[in-house]
Amino acid sequence: MYVRGGETGKRKHSRSHNMSVLLENVTNCLWHAFSSLQQDKSGLVNKSKLKVLTANIGTLLDLYGVERGLEHYKNTATLDFDQLKHYLQHEVFSSLPDKLPLPELRNYESKIAEICWLICHKNHTCSNESFQGCLFMIFRIFCLLAEINREQNTKNCYQVLLHPTEACYLAQSLAHSLGSVFDEEDFNNLSVSMGGFRLNPFIAVLESRCLNEIKDRAAIEEAVTDIYHTFVEDVIKKGFLYKKGYIFPTMKEYWFVLRPSELTYYKTRSERDKSGSLTIESTCKIEPKNGYKITLQCSERNFELEASNHMTRLQWISALQLAIEHSSSGQSYQRVQATKRKQIRQGRLQEMLRAKALLQLERNARQVAEGQAKELEAVVKEETKKLNELEQIKDKLEKLLEEETQAKRDEEIVRALQARVLAEEWDKREELERLQEEQRVLLDEERGKRIEFEEKQKDKELQLKAAEELLHQLETERKMLDEQLKMAHNKIQVSEETKEILESKLMQFIPLRDGDRIRRAHSFMPSTKDRPISFEVRAATLRRPSKQ
């Protein structure tokens, strides 16, 4: 049971669109108040402290006694932030009507933010006293643009962070409004090191990077107020325009403030004396007129406005068209723009992640290709090494073949010499046999004349002795030729053994069929026809005794 406007009634558990929008819009403010009530970093707050916050929010919504339900909620002494949001959603904000105008929604947001700031303002201070009075507006801007996220590896703890691009835009706008020099590169380097900005670091960055020892309170308040009106009050454009009167059709100059829901005009720029307002609806139309005039066609009547120059008229036409397009939205214009920027950042982040993934895939593919290239290079080196070894073996075989050819040539020369010596030996042998035959004939014929022919016989014996000495000399030359032939055979045998060793090594690299091995082995074996005739046989023939 709770009391609303002095009446008693049962709680409605409806989840209207305005309820969820309001709770979403004030979530960051509620988190700062909830965080300031924590005694430690456990993410839990005692219910006794949360009753004050809940009671004040209920009072703003014309509800009384809504904090009493916290005593029996969850049957625990403490609550985390999710539990508090759930209670506020179902026990407090659900009492809002189904349709809530945007100005009234903005008004609720402002009042709830003031309550949250009263609770947490002691935790957010600065050294510049002129800037201290603007911290509530900085707090509202920060809560509007920041994003709440759950901390990693925690269950109950959250953090509200302002994206570096949003922080850079706010800081740059403040610096330009105050006429200070803004170092965007330095701010970007600071953003890279810090990441997202919490409220206290953001206040310190604005103080150190934008104020630059500016102590003029009025200038600081004017600059911050202008940014506050743009983002929090949802002001699209401000400026002087002439408006045609309804009773007296004369053009009078007013200070106009344009929001998506209304166009308000004041007598002065201070915006203290409000003269009236024009409701902006989605059915409104803008029609340019001659000169610098603009006609705003609304459902009730038409309003005639006039700018001071052509550029100002174009700017107001664009701003009014923008206000008409967002007049039917249930959310403020700046929150919609912040949501769009967030979606764009998320899209860029997804693109970066996809590009990073593609880059990683390309890097992996390149590493695989490099590995394959290294393997191929190793194979090529191995094949090159084998090819070099084969080339060396080929060179050795060619060298051995040349040596073998030269040995064969030497053998042919020796054989030619041997044949010549044998021919001479046979000639001498025939001559010796002829002499022996002549001697025998002479002995037979002159046996009786032995004494007479003894001297002749002695002469013949001397001739025979000379022939034997010549034969002995020929045998000596034959032995020498045999030794040379033997040396040539040894050389050929050594070359054949070396060749067989090289062929066996070659067979390890290039396998041969059995038939090829047999043919290669036979190709290097000398035939029996080419074997030299032993001189010992010939010598034995020569040493045979002659027939007497």
> What average pLDDT is seen over the chain?
84
pLDDT for 408-439, tens place per residue? 999 999 999 999 999 999 999 999 999 988 88
Q: Could you give all domains of the chain from N- to C-terminal order, each with its CATH number? A: 2-231 (no CATH), 237-331 (2.30.29.30), 396-542 (no CATH)
pLDDT for 305-332, tens place per residue? 999 999 999 999 999 999 998 888 778 8
Give the angle 310-316-317 at the CA atoms, nearest 5°: 90
Helix, strand, coil shares of the chain, percent, nearest 5, are: 65, 10, 25
Helix boundaries (H) for 71-211:
81-91, 102-120, 129-132, 135-145, 164-178, 184-194, 199-206
Output the pTM of the full model: 0.64
Q: How much of the chain, in percent, has pLDDT values that exceed 90? A: 40
pLDDT for 241: 93
For residues 525 and 47, the model is more confident at 47
- Residues, the chain: 548
pLDDT for 531: 46
Side-chain-side CA neighbours of residue 399 (13 Å): 8
Do residues 241 and 209 make contact, with C-beta atoms less than 8 angstroms apart?
Answer: no
pLDDT for 15: 39
pLDDT for 209-231, tens place per residue? 888 778 888 999 999 999 999 99
Element (H, E) at 51: helix 47-60
pLDDT for 120: 92
